[in-house]
Structure 1
Amino acid sequence: MGSRARARRAAAVLGFTGLLCAVLGAVMIVLVPTLIKQQVLKNVRIDPSSLSFNMWKEIPVPFYLSVYFFDIVNPDAILLGEKPQVQERGPYVYREFRHKSNITFNDNDTVSFLEYRSFQFQPDKSHGLESDYIVMPNILVLAAAMMMENKPMSLKLIMTLAFSTLGERAFMNRTVGEIMWGYEDPLIHLINKYLPNMFPFKGKFGLFAELNNSDSGLFTVFTGVKDFSRIHLVDKWNGLSKVSFWHSDQCNMINGTSGQMWAPFMTPETSLEFYSPEACRPVVRGPKHTRMLAFVLLSQLMEGFGLTFLGVNFSHRGARVSPCSHSLASIPQSGCWERRNKADAPLFLSHPHFYNADPVLAEAVLGLHPNQEEHSLFLDIHPVTGIPMNCSVKLQLSLYIKAIRGIGQTGKIQPVVLPLVWFEESGAMEGKPLQTFYTQLVLMPSVLHYAQYVLLALGCVLLLIPVIHQIRSQEKCYLFWSSSKKGSKDKEAIQAYSESLMTSAPKGTVLQEARL
């Protein structure tokens, strides 16, 4: 009796535990998605109490700027009208440091900030030193010559004389450090003195001179604290709701994010949109992969971007001209200065090696080898949080050159879009930031997600234990009752037989002797 009672109590305890697990699992199935969403929203909004705020403020991801130069192999032959030949040099790698300052929270659920960038050369990651010499077009001379194309001949002759006096030539041989961060050139002072609005820079000239220790403009973005539907979207840039650099209202819009974080809970159908100060326009691209939502960025901008400038149209071979074309494409260090429209420098952006552009551009220059693996760009975003995990943005800066009648330094240069440099900005979350991010925003939600189903399944299994125990107990009771009933009949028969033997025999009955 004791063992059966203990078994009944154990079965009851297990059944009660199973009921609790099943109820808890069912409740979690209903509530966990909401809890996960609330946890993610709490930690991805721009708020000092959120987990991602410090990541947003002081980006912990190590960013690198890798620069590749197109070294001119045959500068003298180009002046004689031959096809340019280039040799790619690099990469020259720089560690990029970013931090936000002047962070101001506004009353309309927005925050304003400036993000500064600085660069430090990494010799161990580079294929060369900043002291390496590179032969490349003299951007100042050739750009100035292009801008003088429709000027009076007398002015062109004066410029030719000035170039000769200053020792300026169509091609130059300078170090990587000078090309990157600037060099003194008397031509800059001369042009700024007599043609003050021709170039949008003063002092030293370098492709990345004003990018170092500078900001990309004042961004004002929505925090998502009060209105989650607009989280990370740009409200204004430099106080403007739209720019005026393009011939289309759509291209002049300032929308999307600032390119650092996106709204969480993305789907395979979610499109990626951000405002690029360097490109002076919003960029929109759809998803390529569904798991990490790897997006190919800027390809709409780059396919044909810069093919229409200074009245020169390269679309006769089937190239698609960007609807956001402008006479002045982006100089990397300049951003969208209000004064940049005063210059008509024939510079433009594209994919490296003219990947995804009209083949005529790559065919016009020897030494270019466009391919998707090396020259495409991507951004991997965690779909639940909208936080970038890995990125690689690659852009090329090119210069349109040709012989200008009246300016002797241009010789017999045939019209060509000549690549100058291409660069890659890349970064991947790793180390402690990745561990914190993974634990708080990936691992814990996953554990909760699977725990609800485990609890429900465990509860159902435990609930079966008392049911099975009850069924088995009923079978044992029935068997015991049946065997007890059959035994009582046998006892009654034996007792009747014994009583008959004990009863005395009637008169006249002869008892027979039993013989053994």
Structure 2
Amino acid sequence: MRSPLPAARAALGAALAAWGAGAWARVTLLTGGSVLPPQNVRIDPSSLSFNMWKEIPVPFFLSVYFFDVINPSAILLGEKPQVRERGPYVYREFRHKDNITFNDNDTVSFLEHRSFQFQPDRSRGLESDYIVMPNILVLGAAMMMENKPMSMKLVMTLAFSTLGERAFMNRTVGEILWGYEDPLVHLVNKYFPDMLPFKGKFGLFAELNNSDSGLFTVFTGVKDFNRIHLVDKWNGLSKVTYWHSDQCNMINGTSGQMWAPFMTPETSLEFYSPEACRSMNLIYKEAGTFEGIPTYRFVAPSTLFANGSVYPPNEGFCPCRESGIQNISTCRFNAPLFLSHPHFYNADPTLAEAVLGLHPNPEEHSLFLDIHPVTGIPMNCSVKLQLSLYIKAVKGIGQTGKIEPVVLPLMWFEESGAMEGQPLQTFYTQLVLVPNVLHYAQYVLLGLGCFLLLIPILHQIRSQEKCYLFWSSSKKGSKDKEAIQAYSESLMTSAPKGSVLQEARL
């Protein structure tokens, strides 16, 4: 009777080969861009990534660096400003989405609340440190009065003197960031109630703490996956009115937290920033890894803050000064404030040369986002921006002295975050470890399956060759040949049921 072992091996080999081919298909699916089906990355309570969208599992930190003015008296006499960088003063940033409302047009609306908590162990200094910097209220108001009648300027000079306001101030880090009581603010709000957008304390980040970034309405991707995470409206607006062209006023991209999955090097990273009052577009730089997870790095193009003469599409952000700084006065109560990269990196060199103590370099002052291209989720990010004030002497306002026109940096800040802990481990296991195991398992299973398939084939061929050679090489008589042939045939065919073969003696 024929042994069942070869047939069993053949069946097992076929099964393993099929399993290996299936593993190959799954690995191709995982590594080829479909690690999560569309229904699992859309904004929907039933999707696997919904909780990650609702509570982003990345701890964010805000690091603030101040430009402490060393020679304020000399600046008033017309000398070049000299500054020294102080910081970082680091804050843990807490975010959570609230008022999540799903709409009928495939969108969801939400508010994202933010709060900040000082981190002494990460900081180089305390919130009680004193910083000398330009008095934005005085110098900003002076610039706004530049073209007003001389009589109004003289009244303002008298008001400043009465209130004890000067061109430079010496205040603590906490006051500068989160607000301080100023008699000028109370005076302006009393006689010009609609002139300032704030009523209480004045601080550079006072409106950010314990607040939200506005009502975002974004597409969920449930009905149209190609529009997932894109902003439909912000505070009910499909475009803003701060700028002088439709292109600059457009609200494009996402809300800046997650992007559409399945990215390629041709993908651009666009998002709307309420703080910058505009949409920003980052470009692909290179592929890399973060803690073993594959990423795409996106960086700011050199044209991000270029002026209209260097990059015509930015003409709508003007009136412009030197290239590399963006005038944001129209969305910051008309104060002559400018946004740029820290230390005027990637800007016209004359800006950094006009202030002693600035040292722009790409390693410390460029921004980047490392995104996992399959899911569109940020793994590691560092967004760095600088806030500066344009100051100069204004005739008729004595507090401005003889200040030479200059864009003086006030501070720069970095918002950074990196996935860590259990979310990172889960991400690595599902998106790196499992695909790698399947990647190698497919070859093992295919190889083992093919080997087991070959065993019965080789066994059959070997049996046929052995019997044939044994018969053909015999030199005995015809009766012996008949016996040998009968024996060899018995090796190749099953005996009829109930028959008995006689022993052949050779």
The TM-score bracket by the shorter chain reads 0.7 to 0.9
Q: Is the Cα contact below 8 Å between 1:308 and 1:314 reproduced in 2? A: no
State the shift of 1:43 in Å.
Answer: 2.7
- Alpha-carbon spacing, 1:329–1:446, altered in 2? closer, same or farther (3 Å): farther
Q: Is the Cα contact below 8 Å between 1:69 and 1:89 reproduced in 2? A: yes
Q: Please name the residue that 1:51 is paired with.
A: 48
Q: Please name the residue that 1:407 is paired with.
A: 397
Matched, 1:296 2:286: no
Q: Please name the residue that 1:338 is paired with.
A: none
Inter-partner Cα distance in structure 1 for 2:238 and 2:440:
45
State the shift of 1:276 in Å.
Answer: 1.5
- Deviating more after overlay: 66-75 vs 216-225: 216-225
- Superposed, which structure 2 residues align to 1:316-465 within 5 Å? 319=323, 328=329, 343-448=333-438, 451-465=441-455
Matched, 1:78 2:81: no
Matched, 1:486 2:493: no
Structure 2 residue identity aligned to 1:301: L
Higher strand share: 2
Structure 2 residue identity aligned to 1:124: D
Inter-partner Cα distance in structure 2 for 1:10 and 1:249:
77
Q: Please name the residue that 2:494 is paired with.
A: none
Q: Please name the residue that 1:211 is paired with.
A: 208
- Alpha-carbon spacing, 1:267–1:308, altered in 2? closer, same or farther (3 Å): closer
Structure 1 residue identity aligned to 2:106: D
- Superposed, which structure 2 residues align to 1:42-441 within 5 Å? 42-291=39-288, 292-297=295-300, 300-304=303-307, 313-315=320-322, 319=323, 328=329, 343-441=333-431
The number of equivalent residue pairs is: 469
List per-residue Cα deviations over 1:349-372 (Å, max 9, x = no partner).
Answer: 100000000000000000000000
Identity of aligned residues (%): 76
5+ unaligned residues in a row in structure 2: which ranges?
289-294, 482-506
List per-residue Cα deviations over 1:48-101 (Å, max 9, x = no partner).
Answer: 222222121122211100000000000000000000000000000000000000
Q: Is the Cα contact below 8 Å between 2:13 and 2:449 reproduced in 1? A: yes
Inter-partner Cα distance in structure 1 for 2:301 and 2:203:
25
Structure 2 residue identity aligned to 1:460: C
- Alpha-carbon spacing, 1:122–1:431, altered in 2? closer, same or farther (3 Å): same
Q: Please name the residue that 2:484 is paired with.
A: none
- Deviating more after overlay: 139-148 vs 464-473: 464-473
SS at match of 1:470: helix
Matched, 1:475 2:475: no
Larger radius of gyration: 1
SS at match of 2:304: helix
State the shift of 1:172 in Å.
Answer: 0.5
State the shift of 1:38 in Å.
Answer: 7.2
Inter-partner Cα distance in structure 2 for 1:242 and 1:312:
20
List per-residue Cα deviations over 1:298-318 (Å, max 9, x = no partner).
Answer: 753333499999987534xxx
Inter-partner Cα distance in structure 1 for 2:269 and 2:316:
28
State the shift of 1:257 in Å.
Answer: 1.0
Inter-partner Cα distance in structure 2 for 1:27 and 1:129:
59
Q: CA RMSD in A?
A: 2.6
Q: Is the Cα contact below 8 Å between 1:303 and 1:357 reproduced in 2? A: yes
- Alpha-carbon spacing, 1:221–1:445, altered in 2? closer, same or farther (3 Å): farther
Structure 1 residue identity aligned to 2:299: V
- Alpha-carbon spacing, 1:97–1:310, altered in 2? closer, same or farther (3 Å): closer
State the shift of 1:480 in Å.
Answer: 2.4
Q: Is the Cα contact below 8 Å between 2:255 and 2:271 reproduced in 1? A: yes
Provide the TM-score with structure 1 as the length reference. 0.85
Q: Is the Cα contact below 8 Å between 2:393 and 2:403 reproduced in 1? A: yes
Matched, 1:14 2:9: yes
List per-residue Cα deviations over 1:394-449 (Å, max 9, x = no partner).
Answer: 00000000000000000000000000000000000010111222233444445445
Inter-partner Cα distance in structure 1 for 2:17 and 2:317:
72
Inter-partner Cα distance in structure 1 for 2:79 and 2:34:
62
Structure 2 residue identity aligned to 1:371: N
Inter-partner Cα distance in structure 2 for 1:91 and 1:491:
102
- Alpha-carbon spacing, 1:330–1:123, altered in 2? closer, same or farther (3 Å): farther
Structure 2 residue identity aligned to 1:119: F
